Amino acid sequence: MRMTLSTLNWRRREMVRWLVTCATEVGVYALDSIMQTWFTLFTPTEATSIVATTVMSNSTIVRLHLDCHQQEKLASSARTLALQCAMKDPQNCALSALTLCEKDHIAFETAYQIVLDAATTGMSYTQLFTIARYMEHRGYPMRAYKLATLAMTHLNLSYNQDTHPAINDVLWACALSHSLGKNELAAIIPLVVKSVKCATVLSDILRRCTLTTPGMVGLHGRRNSGKLMSLDKAPLRQLLDATIGAYINTTHSRLTHISPRHYSEFIEFLSKARETFLMAHDGHIQFTQFIDNLKQIYKGKKKLMMLVRERFG
């Protein structure tokens, strides 16, 4: 283990498991010993995903016939190891550390703090969204929300990335914020507007936000008898403006390199854009001006502009 720690060998994973099995056969003191000196034997990922996880498993407790005191001593060593690994390699070990520390309030709080500290520098939006979803699943919606907002600051979806894997996370984060209440939704929308330039994603979020009242089911199951949010006021006005802006920018980007086989798809895209424009109280006028503008700028694309006239006048 020591010889291959820095060079890494394809057989290490198998040997880490074998060493933990040997230590289990020897007994509780051997297991405690490899956890106390984990950094001389294992990488942080190996230590959390294989060593600590095996030590904390029911099969190990049953096999060693541990009493409550011995169980707690081993669990305490495993939590200490998990927190040290999370500090050293938060990207790969933070979620394991949270899972391993679930039953100890102070250790769990420490692991969560490690995630927050690493969120601004060393973690990707994918990792943060994964931990945020875990937090929601564990019944910590406000913490999930905090991590989701941090994840949003790392994200950047351009106008043509309408099939990006992060879209589901963005929709989930907005749904979570919406379920928590108006303040949380108002705080996440500027982050969405800054990070997401994809018109179809923005319009999907906008539509979902207008269907139900924010915080309809409160944190303690209390129903809020609030009204639907107005599209003429913050924060939805900002989202509506950004969505219309994204449709305009995407339209111009698409028209720069459009081929005749994409004309019908483009007309459908404009129909979707019109639905969003019409959500604004002056949307009808805005959309008419937008179409007139297109007919003027792209009058050279005669066939396409004829299709635009047929559908939109």
Largest distance between two CA atoms of the chain:
83
Sign of CA dihedral 248, 250, 254, 256: positive
How far is the C-alpha of 135 from the C-alpha of 130, rounded, in Å?
9
Q: 92: which 2 tokens?
A: 């790969």
Q: Where in the chain are the domains?
A: 1-123, 124-211+232-312
How far is the C-alpha of 106 from the C-alpha of 112, rounded, in Å?
10
User: Cα–Cα distances in Å, from 62 out to 24, 54, 101, 135, 174?
Assistant: 11, 12, 20, 29, 44
Q: 171: which 2 tokens?
A: 């929709």
Residues found in the chain: 313
| pLDDT for 48 beyond 70 | yes
- pTM of the full predicted structure? 0.88
Q: 44: which 2 tokens?
A: 């942080």
pLDDT at 284: 95
Task: Give the mean model confidence (pLDDT) for residues 30-40.
Answer: 96
Q: 277: which 2 tokens?
A: 């424009």
Sign of CA dihedral 69, 70, 73, 76: negative
Decide if 201 contacts 192 (C-beta within 8 A). Answer: no
Task: Give the mean model confidence (pLDDT) for residues 66-95.
Answer: 95
| pLDDT for 234 beyond 90 | no
Report the 3 state secondary structure along the chain.
CCCCCCCCCCCHHHHHHHHHHHHHHHCHHHHHHHHHCHHHHCCHHHHHHHHHHHHCCHHHHHHHCCCHHHHHHHHHHHHHHHHHHHHHCHHHHHHHHHHHCCCCHHHHHHHHHHHHHHHCCCCCHHHHHHHHHHHHHCCCHHHHHHHHHHHHHHCCECCCCCCCCCHHHHHHHHHHHHHHCHHHHHHHHHHHHHHECCHHHHHHHHHHHHHCCCCCECCCCCECCCCCCCCCCCCHHHHHHHHHHHHHHHHHHHHHCCCHHHHHHHHHHHHHHHHHHCCCCCHHHHHHHHHHHHHHHCCCCHHHHHHHHHHHC
| pLDDT for 49 beyond 80 | yes
| Per-residue pLDDT tens digits for 186-213 | 999 999 999 999 999 999 999 999 888 8
Q: What angle do CA 272, 277, 281 make, to 5 degrees?
A: 145
pLDDT at 223: 47
| Per-residue pLDDT tens digits for 108-132 | 999 999 999 999 888 999 999 999 9
> Pick the residue with more confidence: 309 or 215?
309
How far is the C-alpha of 295 from the C-alpha of 104, rounded, in Å?
65
| pLDDT for 103 beyond 90 | yes
Angle between helices 141-154 and 125-137 (to 10 degrees): 170
Q: What percent of the chain has pLDDT over 90?
A: 85
Decide if 20 contacts 50 (C-beta within 8 A). Answer: yes
pLDDT at 216: 59
